[in-house]
Chains A and B, each alone.
Chain A
């Protein structure tokens, strides 16, 4: 079969080259001769493909030479087929060993269907399709996906001849879901809700009391009692009764201050005298504060500043000593 298929392909290639060289009339006859001379093939599919290929080539030639006339002819055709194609179909049918009339009728039916679809395409708007295709972007397939698809294709090819089980259509489903996964607004369930820039700019500078009251009234009216436990929990979370999950241990604590601001507090010691027991004392204070994980940087700075004030007030007293 493989040899026959290669020879047929070779013959069609030769025919195509000859056709391109010759005029419109003779190549079709040559095609018919070729089809008649070709060896008998068992695969029905390849015959159809070749037929359709020849059809398309004929059609292309026709379009190139006389577009409007051909299209008009095509529209007029409708149900009656091109007599040349009919001749080709009959030649093919004669070459096949099976029941000639049946094969001929089947081929003609296929041709009719093909023509209908092509006519529809011609009548339709081809320009829009081109626009659509140009707009479509190439999707990057991951190699794993590609491998799955190739394997699925290969196994599908076997299916018709052999009896292999069809693979589950995971790839298409995942593909569809993958398209819809990253589209849309994020819910921020597992990541910290980053404060997105508010789209609606608030032009009102100071909301009046009446506005506030109105807003409160609206909220009170529209707030329906929770229908189920989930809504109740949502309400609690909004109020602050229930924590947000996954639990964040640093709620309300994390200033955004880096570790070096917590530990290296020497810069705040500039107001103190460099020698003496006070400096010694303050260094101990700083050492203790740097080791304290529970205070924020602001609180630590406040501690140090309080000591500064205190020792300044007591300066006179200290100088007496």
Chain B
């Protein structure tokens, strides 16, 4: 009954894992921020900073935001993704040619 595509599952497992990482990073964001604040300053004693280093390393690996990969939302392509539309270049081109991306036109100058 719906006009567009109906997506009940993620495109592939890699996308699923990426989704899990994002959720975890959101959970631990505050803690990581605070511990890093202790680590990255020159006022507190170095011993305290070393302890903080160990603590942050003890956090789950997937809570790190650097592990998130901005994949294409539709095809889960890891590369060639335009951040503004969250689409890979191929999908973006497909939609832009069918005039389904607002404000996007073929360049000519």
Q: Interface residues, chain A, CB within 8 Å of chain B? A: 277-278, 280-281, 284-285, 302-303, 306-307, 310, 314, 317-318, 321
B-side binding surface: helix, strand, loop or mixed?
helix
Establish whether residues B30 and A317, one from each chain, have CB atoms under 8 Å apart when the complex forms: no
User: B residues within 8 A CB of A307?
Assistant: 34
Establish whether residues B43 and A303, one from each chain, have CB atoms under 8 Å apart when the complex forms: no
User: B residues within 8 A CB of A285?
Assistant: 37
User: A residues within 8 A CB of B48?
Assistant: 314, 317-318
If the complex has contacts A314-B51, A317-B51, are A303 and B34 also in contact, measured as CB distance less than 8 A?
Answer: yes
Question: What 10 pairs across the A-B complex have the smallest Cβ distances?
Answer: A277-B43, A281-B43, A280-B43, A277-B44, A281-B44, A321-B45, A321-B47, A306-B34, A281-B41, A314-B48
User: B residues within 8 A CB of A306?
Assistant: 30-31, 34
User: A residues within 8 A CB of B51?
Assistant: 314, 317
| CB nearest to B45 among chain A residues | A321
| CB nearest to B37 among chain A residues | A285
Give 26 CB contacts A-B under 8 Å: A277-B43, A277-B44, A277-B45, A278-B44, A280-B43, A281-B38, A281-B41, A281-B43, A281-B44, A284-B41, A285-B37, A302-B30, A303-B30, A303-B34, A306-B30, A306-B34, A307-B34, A310-B34, A310-B38, A314-B51, A317-B47, A317-B51, A318-B45, A318-B48, A321-B45, A321-B47
User: B residues within 8 A CB of A321?
Assistant: 45, 47
**Per-residue interface assignment for chain B, residues 22 to 34, with 1 indicating a CB less than 8 Å from any chain A CB and 0 otherwise:** 0000000011001
B52 to chain A, nearest CB (A): 9
A-side binding surface: helix, strand, loop or mixed?
helix
Q: Interface residues, chain B, CB within 8 Å of chain A? A: 30-31, 34, 37-38, 41, 43-45, 47-48, 51
User: B residues within 8 A CB of A302?
Assistant: 30
| CB nearest to B41 among chain A residues | A281
User: B residues within 8 A CB of A278?
Assistant: 44
Chain A CB within 10 Å, residue with most, of B38, B47, B48: B48
| CB nearest to B46 among chain A residues | A321
Q: How far is the CA of A318 from the CA of B38 in the complex (A)?
A: 14
User: A residues within 8 A CB of B38?
Assistant: 281, 310
A269 to chain B, nearest CB (A): 15
A272 to chain B, nearest CB (A): 13
B35 to chain A, nearest CB (A): 8
Q: How far is the CA of A213 from the CA of B32 in the complex (A)?
A: 43
Q: How far is the CA of A321 from the CA of B45 in the complex (A)?
A: 9
User: B residues within 8 A CB of A310?
Assistant: 34, 38
Supplied contacts A302-B30, A314-B51, 10 more A-B pairs, CB within 8 Å: A284-B41, A303-B34, A306-B31, A307-B34, A314-B48, A317-B47, A317-B48, A318-B48, A321-B45, A321-B47
| CB nearest to A311 among chain B residues | B48
| CB nearest to A306 among chain B residues | B34
Q: How far is the CA of A303 from the CA of B38 in the complex (A)?
A: 12
| CB nearest to B33 among chain A residues | A303
Q: How far is the CA of A280 from the CA of B30 in the complex (A)?
A: 21
User: B residues within 8 A CB of A280?
Assistant: 43
Q: How far is the CA of A255 from the CA of B2 in the complex (A)?
A: 39
Q: How far is the CA of A317 from the CA of B30 in the complex (A)?
A: 24
| CB nearest to A288 among chain B residues | B37
A282 to chain B, nearest CB (A): 10
User: A residues within 8 A CB of B41?
Assistant: 281, 284
Q: How far is the CA of A307 from the CA of B41 in the complex (A)?
A: 15
Q: How far is the CA of A82 from the CA of B45 in the complex (A)?
A: 118
Q: How far is the CA of A317 from the CA of B44 in the complex (A)?
A: 13
User: A residues within 8 A CB of B43?
Assistant: 277, 280-281, 284
B31 to chain A, nearest CB (A): 8
| CB nearest to A303 among chain B residues | B34
User: B residues within 8 A CB of A281?
Assistant: 38, 41, 43-44
